[in-house]
Amino acid sequence: MSIAAAVTGTATAAVHVAQRHASPARTTAPRREQSPLNPNSQALRAAGQASGSSAAAPTDGVRTHIANLDRVLGKPPTVPRPTGSHAHAASKEAQAGSRDQEPLNVRHGLLNALNLSFFVPMPGMRARTAADEHMSPRSLMHMQQLLSADSPRASPRSTIGPRWRALHGEGGWAGLLDPLDSDLRRELLRYGDFVQAAYQAFQSLPTASARHRGLMLPDRSYRPTRSLFATSALSMPTWARRPNTPEWLTQQSNWIGYVAVCESEREVQRMGRRDIAIVLRGTITCPEWAENLRATLVPLDDGETAATTHAAGAEQPKVARGFRSLYKTAGEKVRSLSEDVMDEVRRLMEKYKGEELSITVVGHSLGGALALLVADEIATTIPDAPQVAVVSFGGPKVGNAAFVEKLKASGKVNVLRIVNAGDMVTKVPGVAPRLPLSREHYQHAGAELRIDSKNSPCLRPDVGPASRHDLEAYLHLIDGFTATGSPFRYDARRSVIRLLQLQRGNVKKEYVKRARELGVDPAAPADVGRSMAYGNCAVASPS
């Protein structure tokens, strides 16, 4: 071979090598394909089959990709996994260690005694397996983004003015729930964070008498205008009160929520109307839990209205006795929840008279039940009331079929129930006892958006009722929901810090481990400052 030919061949080979190792120009949008770091990806399997390598070769490839992932995350390299007999011994040691971990449904704090998971068996609960703890490298990278200092905030706000009525429930949210509309998802998450703020405001100072109890709303375009109180008709007997029991846990009247109005003109223009939000938390105190158990159906209206309806031969709208009691009972120093809400709605309607208005009543658990009573009274007693939307997270059934029909007939109330599969609270009450021999059935109202904890990449598939009813778990699942049967949203942006802190017993072990490596202690209480850095109000949501 001549020297020229050799030089030419060498140059050609160099060009091919350079082309193989050159970085491609970033001129096109990123491909949304399965991550090459995922050991189950089709590309990796195809590469292993084409090479004709032995069974050990794909394992080596997975280790290489994991090592590359650690370098991307900026973490020190981990100890290589043992192989052969060492791997078998390590597996036994890991299984022994898992038995020493915290039980699935253990929750710390004052509300342990009220946790539903201790009293209600969860169908289909099973032992944890290695597959339940699996976490793909792509999921690890996504978690790194949600825990890092530059984690993206909430999704950008698009202008929804031209379609606000559809997003607010006109038409029953037809075509917006499955698949879930991106604008609707963002609105639901905002209202869910409003309820989180109500929980935090109560738990931070449960006995305070301040007007808004240091209430910090996650959306600063809204301003709270009135505090709301709910009073139970039941009182704790003297024998049931312990010397060290906090006063707020047994008192009859408690702060349960607030009314807020959007005051930012820029936000009003973006939304196409001025929104009035009525926000109600779930059950916390002992009298509230006692009222939840009073499931007898009673007439919604008292006096002449109920008698006239019954005489006309129509079925009476009825609701659970306990819910009606909390809504209509006045306390020694506070008015009833009904009086406060109606008075504030009328005041705000007069203040913003002539503007396009909407009313959104949002609640979790017990708050979702009371939200239906609020919406019904607004539609019944305020003839010129604007469109009312009810957003209920994990709410129970409230009334009979006549009550549901009354809401529909008003033409002003639209109800959206978000339900996590397996949430026991959404299934009760089933029937109401009526003496002597008959029973009357409860019925759900409105449209339903169904989510499932099993779709989350970081929640264990065998989570118990406490996690399935938890509000933060609800918001985490809504953020990742795209459509029934579809995988968790790959670009979900909600921070998982609070989910780890509130539900670490239900989070996959690999997530908890990696969170600690990234400097987040799941055992620490919710950090207000850090959570606010991710665009979320740092609040706790008891189940």
Instruction: Please give the positions annotated as active site.
Output: 365, 423, 469
Query: Is 154 in contact with 501 (CB distance < 8 Å)?
Result: no
Cis before 429? omega within 30? yes
- CA-wise closest residue to 210 among 202, 220, 222, 199: 202
Angle at 363 between CA 502 and CA 431, to 5 degrees: 100
Q: Quick check: 194 and 362 in contact, CB under 8 A?
A: yes
Nearest alpha carbon to residue 236 among 283, 285, 203: 285
Torsion angle, alpha carbons of 118, 120, 123, 124, to 10 = 0
State how far the alpha carbon of 223 is from the alpha carbons of 187, 212, 389, 507, in Å. Answer: 17, 10, 19, 35
72 Cβ partners below 8 Å, 6+ apart? 141
d(C-alpha 124, C-alpha 462), whole Å: 8
SS3 track for 47-63: HHHHHCCCCHHHHHHHH
The count of C-alpha atoms lying within 13 angstroms of the C-alpha of 289, restricted to the half-sphere facing its C-beta, is: 13
d(CA 281, CA 199): 6
Cα 175 to Cα 167, 178, 362, distances in angstroms: 10, 7, 21
Nearest to 543 by CA among 258, 122, 99, 102: 122
252: Cα within 13 Å, side-chain hemisphere: 17
